Amino acid sequence: MLLLSDVGPKQISYPSRKTPVKMQAIDALLERRSAKALTVPAPDAAALDLILSSAVAAPDHGRLRPWRFVVIQGNALERFGDLLAEHLRRQYPNSAPESLQREKQKAFRAPMIVVVAAICTPGGKIPVIEQVLAAGAAAQNIMLAAHALGFNSMWKTGGPAYDDQVKAALGLEAKDAIVGFMYVGTEASRPPVVPRPSFQDLVRHWEG
């Protein structure tokens, strides 16, 4: 695969990284893949600033700026784990304590979680699906920016993303959409290379 990192790469240093990061945008797009396990360090304040600045650079129809971000780290991860376990208990009141504990532990898959949500405004000129798509684009920008800065991430949803009580606990309304729980940190081991689908099978050049 053609990588452009040798062609005039931009060098950036961040306090939480031991080595300067150099990456071309096209490399970030082609190389990004989800982490299998994440650990410390999480992005520091400077890196998080860049990651969230990238998020709000996502395309957005009508300048609604529908995206919202809830950053969870430190002790708040514990509370988020409780939210996940409470959600499971509401869904399955007979859940075994081990299952609830396993669910709670999901909050600790990474040292930082960025919840990406769309504040949805129905009935306007911009369809709600486009507001959700804009938040999805912001979520993807978070993954790409994290990767470009030498971190890694995982995009998770599951039942809690669609649960009104989870939304309320995170300061959202039932009409809003959680598009992703973005787990962010440093990969504990290099994720396996997953072959990408060949785009040739997915593309048609339409000629009318």
Ligand X SMILES: Cc1cc2nc3c(=O)[nH]c(=O)nc-3n(C[C@H](O)[C@H](O)[C@H](O)COP(=O)(O)O)c2cc1C
Helix (H) or strand (E) holding 41: none
> Nearest distance from residue 22's CB to ligand X, in Å?
22
Nearer to ligand X, 53 or 157 (CB): 157
**Of 199 and 206, which has the nearer Cβ to ligand X?**
199
Q: How many residues in total does the chain contain?
A: 208
The pattern of x and - marking residues 28 through 67 that bind ligand X according to CB under 6 A reads: -----xx---------------------------------
- Distances from the Cα of 41 to the Cαs of 15, 24, 34, 61, 150, in angstroms? 11, 23, 17, 35, 11
Tell me whether residue 108 or residue 155 sits nearer to ligand X (CB atom): 155
Considering only residues 137 to 196 of the shown chain, the ones binding ligand X according to CB under 6 A are 154-158, 180, 194
Cα 81 to Cα 104, 105, 125, 166, 181: the distances in Å are: 4, 6, 38, 11, 12
Contacting residues toward ligand X, per CB under 6 A: 33-34, 154-158, 180, 194
